[in-house]
Amino acid sequence: MTTAPLRLGIAGLGTVGTGLVHLMRENSARIADRAGRPIEVVAVAARDRSRDRGIDLSGLRWHDDAVTLAADPDVDVVVELIGGSEGTARQLVTNTLRNGKAVVTANKALIALHGAELSALSSAHEAPLLFEAAVAGGVPAIKLVREGLAGDRLLRVGGILNGTCNYILTEMRNTGRAFSDVLSEAKALGYAEADPTTDIDGWDAAHKLAILAALSFGRPLAFDSLHVEGISRISPADLHFAQELGYRIKLLGLAREVQDGIEAWMRPCLVPIASPIANVEGVFNALSYEGAFAGSQMIEGRGAGAGPTAIAVMADLIDLARGSRLPVWGVSTPANRVECVPRGTLTGEYYLRVTVQDQPGVIADIAIILRDCGVSLRGMVQHANDKTPNGTVPLALVTHQTDEHAMLVTIQRIAALDSVVNEPMMLRIEAG
């Protein structure tokens, strides 16, 4: 094994990038001992040269255009910390792999959306592509799935993959407050970004799920076929009804191999209060999986921050320095990109919340629609006390096993009733 230093070019000097430079300087002897050779930063790329980042960047080659890092002859590994699935990040990673150089990235959107083409480049040019930091937090999810579970046949993978959403749902339940109110507070506390769209609309968690699914099943998902729903339409009434019915609401992701492809979605679900996943609270994340041999397992850990993300990037770099050369999805011969099965073909139990004018015949109207759509009711909850000053009242319904297509027709017809105000809310019920 070579003992020459592994030379890095770091693209993006935000909190993770500067944290990584700091970490490598602080722990250089320890890292060399663990890696079997020194790991050194030789070049960086960021937009603003003059900004004070609290670290000394003198002696490092500066690239104003990050993409030129890909061709820097002194760079063995490009560390991509720019983010975003398109533009500079995508161009830089593509060019670096084409040049036969290794890439380490924390970019979950890039891997989720373009993993198929990037893994083909990685394989064609024998250029490793590593992304432990893309699904980070306290749980080393990628190492677990790609290496720890490599001997098992995974039947299901998923879990609670976004700490911001889990924090908001936990707070809403604990305090009875509205989504927008708790979101503002989460921003103030630093648990939500200034622009929280990627988190609350489910995309961040969906990117992580797509990556875990690709590793679990040895083939990338066609990301745009994944059904993704966020949490912004969840109301205190939903949390209250869920509790009363014996459930909690979690933004849950799941991927499993089915006959015609892969079933995969990220959406708020009702899970039984006693299930382990229901008890993952606040900013915690949980990776849940079922292996043919390992059985059902759930691993819970704290969500990511800059420190754990830098450590995850460092783990990939040390693996590279030691000569580890795993294929991108862990398999020698990855299968082709696979479409998720259409949402309508899913089957399951469902929760419906409908806000209605409190007047005679409303329940009958709804019951007739359900009957006509072949949806069988398992339970219904309504409280006279919940009646608002303008005469509306929320109504919760729980169905027996049915197919999602029938449910989609059902809510469309219910929404069209004169006595129904607002869009009905439909959530899956999962075993957790």
Residues forming the active site: 208
Amino acid at 65: D
When binding is defined by CB under 8 A, the residue of 2, 4, 30, 389 that contacts a copy of itself is 30
Looking at the Cβ atoms of 237 and 299, the one nearer to a copy of itself is: 299
- Is residue 14 within the footprint of a copy of itself (CB under 8 A)? no
By CB under 8 A, residue 320 contacts a copy of itself: no
CB atoms within 10 A of CB 306: 14
Closer to a copy of itself by Cβ: residue 259 or 332: 332
Window 209 to 228, contacts with a copy of itself (CB under 8 A): 218
Of residues 130 through 149, those in contact with a copy of itself by CB under 8 A are: 132, 138-140, 143-144, 147-149
Tell me the C-alpha distance between 10 and 187, whole Å. Answer: 29
Binding track, positions 146-175, relative to a copy of itself; x by CB under 8 A: -xxxxxxx----------------------
Q: How far apart are CA 69 and CA 75, in angstroms?
A: 7
Task: Tell me the β-bridge partners of 62.
Answer: 44
Q: Which residue has the tokens 């169905």?
A: 399
Q: Is 307 in the site for a copy of itself (CB under 8 A)?
A: yes
Q: Which stretch binds a copy of itself (CB under 8 A): 55-63, 205-213, 238-246, 286-294?
A: 286-294
DSSP-assigned letters across all residues of 321-352: HTT----TTS-SSPPPPBPBPPGGG-EEEEEE
> For residues 261 and 256, what is the distance between their CA atoms, to the nearest angstrom?
9
Stretch that binds a copy of itself, among 252-260, 305-313, 345-353, 358-366 (CB under 8 A): 305-313
Q: Is position 273 an interface residue for a copy of itself (rule: CB under 8 A)?
A: no
DSSP helix/strand/coil, 196: coil
Alpha carbons within 13 angstroms on the beta-carbon side of residue 23 total: 19
For a copy of itself, the closer of residues 3 and 58 by Cβ is: 3
For residues 74 and 71, what is the distance between their CA atoms, to the nearest angstrom? 9
Using CB under 8 A as the binding rule, the residues of this chain from 324 to 343 that contact a copy of itself are 324-326, 330-333
Q: Which is nearer to a copy of itself, 30 or 49 (CB)?
A: 30
Does 125 bind a copy of itself (CB under 8 A)? Our answer is: no
Cα angle for residues 412, 414, 415 (degrees, 5° grid): 65
Query: 363-402: which residues touch a copy of itself (CB under 8 A)?
Result: none
Whichever of 330 and 342 has its CB closer to a copy of itself, that residue is 330
**Length of the chain measured in residues:** 432
- Residue 202 makes CB contacts below 8 A (sequence gap 6+) with 162, 165, 228, 229, 230, 231, 251, 266, 267
The least CB distance from residue 118 to a copy of itself, in Å, is: 20
Both tokens of residue 217? 């099943």
Q: Which residue has the tokens 């198929």?
A: 116
- As measured in angstroms, the least distance from the Cβ of 219 to a copy of itself is 11
- Which lies closer to a copy of itself via its Cβ, residue 5 or residue 330? 330
Q: Provide, rounded to whole angstroms, the least separation between the CB of residue 252 and a copy of itself.
A: 18
**431 belongs to the binding site for a copy of itself (CB under 8 A):** no
- By the rule CB under 8 A, 292 interacts with a copy of itself: yes
Measured from the CB of residue 106, what is the shortest distance to a copy of itself in angstroms? 14
108 or 146, CB closer to a copy of itself? 146
Q: Where are the beta strands (DSSP E) in 217-366?
A: 227-228, 247-258, 261-272, 284-291, 295-302, 347-357
> Rounded to a whole number, what is the distance in angstroms from the first to the last CA of the chain?
46
Report if residue 294 touches a copy of itself, rule: CB under 8 A.
yes
Of 31-60, binders to a copy of itself (CB under 8 A) are 31, 33-36
Indicate the helix (H) or strand (E) that contains 119: helix 108-124
